Amino acid sequence: MNHFELRDGEMFCEDVPLLKVAEAVGTPVYVYSSATLERHFTVLRTALSEAGLRDEAGGPPLIAYAVKANSNLAVLATLARLGAGADTVSEGEIRRALAAGVPPERIVFSGVGKQAGEIRFALETGISEINVESEPEMRLIAQVAQGLGRPARIAFRVNPDVAAGGHAKIATGGADNKFGVSFSEAERLYAEAASDPWLDPIGLTCHIGSQISRLEPMEAAFLRMRELVERLRARGLAVHRLDLGGGLGVPYFNQPEPPTPAAYAAMIAGVMAGLEIGLAFEPGRVIAANAGILLARVLHIHERPEGRRFVVLDAAMNDLIRPAMYDAYHDIRPVRPRPGAAAIADVVGPVCETGDTFTRDRMLPPLEAGDLVAFMSAGAYGASMSSEYNSRLLAPEVLVRGRDWAVVRPRPTYEDMLAREARPPWLD
Ligand code: LLP
């Protein structure tokens, strides 16, 4: 079921007409559907449970939502209420997760460059697991843990050296990527950590990339992870948890259909059969992407006599950077479709660089200046990657629930923007 649907010729988010949101809040604006967020989380949890996957205690596996995908507090709180954990990559994200009501024991902390202060904060907070990405990081964690007098629960992020397919900028599981330790390092470091009084190695983790549209690379990576668990156990080392990361792709319009959560879960159940291990997951996109749109207004239609046709929007690459950065495809739909023939256009924003192009040569339904359009599947890596480039104000965020809606991040004012900066004394 889709919670962004046309009703009587205009697009709604759940029971809220998008025209109403645009009128009240202005554009560009991100709009999220609570029902879609909840459904995605629940479908994934059900698929994992029905495939017989469990956590260490025999309960449903930990689903640590990847905060980076959409870190709005209201989005996090919506998921936290359903029992979601949080996969975080900075102190800021840990603080967001806590503020949204995610209990520390459901928070995991990943990332190749964690700083001592962040590690200290994570340990003081009592989060579930720190994912160790390198040997020097392991030493730093041990040192911080000793300083606090509190051993650190760690998992080793292993780089399974598997090509996940998809865009090179979001593949993470190859041996030449910066993420995680190799298999040989993992074996050596796990044994070392097990004999360090300040480290408590609970398991392993891997994450091979994002928007993965085939099960095979994941299956290959997970098999290697299983084999590593078996090798470690054969050496007498305890391995309680395998955190299989995120990465499951979503159906962006016109793109290859990704595997369903049920197929993903069944594949994992097959790979892990008989292993007796607690499983955890770090999904981001699969939960948030199709739960959000970016609503924008057409400023002009610029038709060059020589032939190119540009649809100029009030949204730009600073609001949604995925097309510029990954050549990502986002379906662009009119909020109130007009009768008439489709036509080819380039859709661009007002930012002063050619990269501020959302799409080229796209066949689009009829559009006129003043029309509203929705960038579909913009709930993940949309607002969370936005910036104020060109001194454009950050787009606000709205969360819908049934007939209700609320601004969950207001558009800042220009005064807010300027007030964050200061003049050095010598310029006064
Ligand atoms: N776990 C770790 C350690 C990660 O690095 C990521 C994403 C995830 C989980 C969540 O992956 P997901 O389930 O969302 O695929 N900005 C890019 C995507 C970057 C993904 C980075 N890591 C984009 O817009 O496509």
pLDDT, tens only, 121-145: 999 999 999 999 999 999 999 999 9
Average pLDDT over every residue of 206-232: 95
Residue 170 confidence (pLDDT): 67
CA-nearest of 200, 206, 108, 107 to 154 is 200
Ligand 1: residue of 210, 213, 325 to mutate (most ligand atoms within 8 A of CB) is 210
The reply to whether ligand 1 has any atom less than 6 angstroms from the CB of 285 is: yes
Per the CB < 8 A criterion, the answer to whether 400 and 320 are in contact is: no
Task: Report the half-sphere exposure of 364 (CA within 13 A, side-chain side).
Answer: 27
- Take atom 24 of ligand 1 and give the residue whose Cα is closest: 381
Average pLDDT over every residue of 60-67: 98
Ligand 1: residue of 110, 282, 358, 386 to mutate (most ligand atoms within 8 A of CB) is 282
Q: Which atom of ligand 1 is nearest to the CA of 131?
A: 3
The reply to whether ligand 1 has any atom less than 6 angstroms from the CB of 287 is: no
The reply to whether ligand 1 has any atom less than 6 angstroms from the CB of 70 is: no
In the chain, % of residues over pLDDT 70: 98
In the chain, % of residues over pLDDT 90: 91
Integer Cα distance of 98 and 85 in angstroms:
10
Give the 3-state secondary structure of 102-125. Answer: CCHHHEEECCCCCCHHHHHHHHHH
Residue 282 confidence (pLDDT): 98
CB count within 10 Å of CB 389 equals 15
Average pLDDT over every residue of 375-403: 98
The residue with greater pLDDT, 269 or 175, is: 269
Instruction: For residue range 154-200, list pLDDT tens digits in order.
Output: 999 999 888 776 677 766 667 778 888 999 999 999 999 999 999 99
Average pLDDT over every residue of 304-317: 96
Residue 165 confidence (pLDDT): 67
Average pLDDT over every residue of 207-220: 93
CA-nearest of 260, 280, 294, 258 to 381 is 294
3-state secondary structure of 260: coil
402: exposed, middle or buried (Cβ count in 10 Å: 0-12, 13-18, 19+): exposed
Average pLDDT over every residue of 279-303: 98
| Ligand 1 mean position, distance from CA 316 (Å) | 22
The reply to whether ligand 1 has any atom less than 6 angstroms from the CB of 91 is: no
| Ligand 1 mean position, distance from CA 210 (Å) | 5
Asked if the model's pLDDT at residue 214 lies above 70, the reply is yes
The reply to whether ligand 1 has any atom less than 6 angstroms from the CB of 283 is: yes
The reply to whether ligand 1 has any atom less than 6 angstroms from the CB of 133 is: no
Mean per-residue pLDDT of the chain = 95
- Take atom 6 of ligand 1 and give the residue whose Cα is closest: 246
| Ligand 1 mean position, distance from CA 377 (Å) | 15
The reply to whether ligand 1 has any atom less than 6 angstroms from the CB of 377 is: no
Average pLDDT over every residue of 8-13: 98
131: left (phi over 0), alpha (psi -120 to 50) or beta: beta
Per the CB < 8 A criterion, the answer to whether 245 and 206 are in contact is: yes
Asked if the model's pLDDT at residue 321 lies above 80, the reply is yes
| Ligand 1 mean position, distance from CA 151 (Å) | 28
Integer Cα distance of 100 and 64 in angstroms:
13
Per the CB < 8 A criterion, the answer to whether 104 and 64 are in contact is: no
Residue 166 confidence (pLDDT): 67
Query: Which residues are catalytic, by number?
Result: 352
Q: Which atom of ligand 1 is nearest to the CA of 285?
A: 14
| Ligand 1 mean position, distance from CA 258 (Å) | 15
Instruction: For residue range 164-176, list pLDDT tens digits in order.
Output: 766 777 666 677 7
Q: How many residues does the chain have?
A: 428
> Rounded to whole angstroms, what are the CA distances from 257 to 39, 248, 251, 322?
19, 11, 5, 19
Per the CB < 8 A criterion, the answer to whether 66 and 283 are in contact is: yes
Integer Cα distance of 345 and 359 in angstroms:
8
Ligand 1: residue of 37, 44, 68, 264 to mutate (most ligand atoms within 8 A of CB) is 68
Residue 73 contacts by C-beta under 8 Å, 6 or more apart in sequence? 96, 99, 100, 408
The reply to whether ligand 1 has any atom less than 6 angstroms from the CB of 63 is: no
CA 42 to chain centre: 17
Residue appearing with tokens 């891997």: 206
Asked if the model's pLDDT at residue 2 lies above 90, the reply is no
| Ligand 1 mean position, distance from CA 245 (Å) | 9
Q: Which atom of ligand 1 is nearest to the CA of 284?
A: 14
φ, ψ for residue 417, nearest 5 deg: -65, -45
Q: Which atom of ligand 1 is nearest to the CA of 211?
A: 15
Please give the helix or strand (H or E) that residue 145 lies within, else none.
Answer: helix 135-148
φ, ψ for residue 240, nearest 5 deg: -95, -30
Instruction: For residue range 21-57, list pLDDT tens digits in order.
Output: 999 999 999 999 999 999 999 999 999 999 999 999 9
Structural tokens at position 156: 């080793």
The reply to whether ligand 1 has any atom less than 6 angstroms from the CB of 170 is: yes
Kindly indicate the confidence band of residue 1, based on its pLDDT and cuts at 50, 70 and 90.
low
Residue 30 confidence (pLDDT): 99
Largest CA distance in the chain: 75
| Ligand 1 mean position, distance from CA 381 (Å) | 8
| Ligand 1 mean position, distance from CA 277 (Å) | 24
Average pLDDT over every residue of 275-287: 97
* Rounded-to-10 torsion of CA 272, 273, 278, 281: 40
CB count within 10 Å of CB 301 equals 16
Integer Cα distance of 71 and 306 in angstroms:
44
